[in-house]
Structure 1
């Protein structure tokens, strides 16, 4: 009978320990605050632009962009299929994705196919345009790490619009 009671005590202690361990990871400091992250991201982008003597335009969303070559025709709009070439990298220059030398990439604007920064950025561009998009993490991959992209990372894309349908 004593052995049975001591097993209950051990189980109770184990359960209590697991609960305490789980709760220790729930500190207030660990709560994601998108507004604070947006401020950090825009500061990082501004510093990067200043350090590299770049002048970028600012969209009301916080996306920064440099149109390096104007295209022709209307800008991409809601529901358009856009064909692009791109290279994505972090502010430190680490490349994380590209389709240069590969097949073209297609997406439909505002359908949720791509990160929000692309939906916003490509509506500023027309066929033949090339640009660099500086995308805060809140419009990019957010607070979730991806392969080659740490959580809360500003991402930069060099893009070229091949077609808009």
Structure 2
């Protein structure tokens, strides 16, 4: 009797777990959806003439700055502000200092495009920013926009 009950419970649990589907979003689907959202955002904001990098990040060099550009191991000092595509501001800081290789992937891609004194607008898909986890202020899978002024580069 115990064996029959155990076999029945085991079989039932196998059937239930096989019926459950993985509810995690498909990364390719998220990327396509975000790219569409970015294109819609840009269409609604014709004052922005962003270029799409092969990584998927969009950027607009507002001012190129002058001098050398940062390498991956450079420590940079920036002023920045961040917002969601909806326009909700989530973060900003003046005189933020950090090693470029430790920062968001979209920043690693875009900041080397300008020199000290330059400014860049970055529209980043979630996979190059805060990803599927998000933060307390940023929902998961959120496209984010940064306005960054590069103040100083230490190679």
What TM-score, normalized to structure 1?
A: 0.78
RMSD over aligned Cα atoms = 2.3
| Aligned mate of 2:52, from 58, 75, 82 | 58
Show structure 1 runs of 4+ deviating over 4 A.
none
Structure 2, unpaired ranges of 5+ = none
User: Which of 1 and 2 has greater Rg?
Assistant: 1
Question: How far apart are the structure 1 equivalents of 2:117 and 2:152?
Answer: 7
| Aligned mate of 1:140, from 118, 129, 139 | 129
Alpha carbons 1:37, 1:138 under 8 Å: kept? no
SS in 1 for 2:106: helix
| Aligned mate of 1:93, from 87, 108, 117 | 87
Question: How far apart are the structure 2 equivalents of 1:37 and 1:76?
Answer: 31
Question: How far apart are the structure 1 equivalents of 2:137 and 2:144?
Answer: 11
C-alpha displacement of 1:33: 2.1
1:4-153 matches, cutoff 5 A: 27-28=21-22, 30-53=23-46, 54-100=48-94, 104-110=95-101, 113-153=102-142
Give the aligned length.
145
C-alpha displacement of 1:31: 2.2
Alpha carbons 2:64, 2:113 under 8 Å: kept? no
Question: How far apart are the structure 1 equivalents of 2:116 and 2:75?
Answer: 11
Structure 1, unpaired ranges of 5+ = 1-8
What per-residue deviation string (whole Å, max 9, x for no partner) do you get for residues 26-60 of structure 1? 523x1232222111111111110111112111111
Question: How far apart are the structure 1 equivalents of 2:129 and 2:66?
Answer: 27
Alpha carbons 2:85, 2:145 under 8 Å: kept? yes
- Match of 1:154? 143
What TM-score, normalized to structure 2?
A: 0.83
C-alpha displacement of 1:122: 1.0
SS in 2 for 1:96: strand
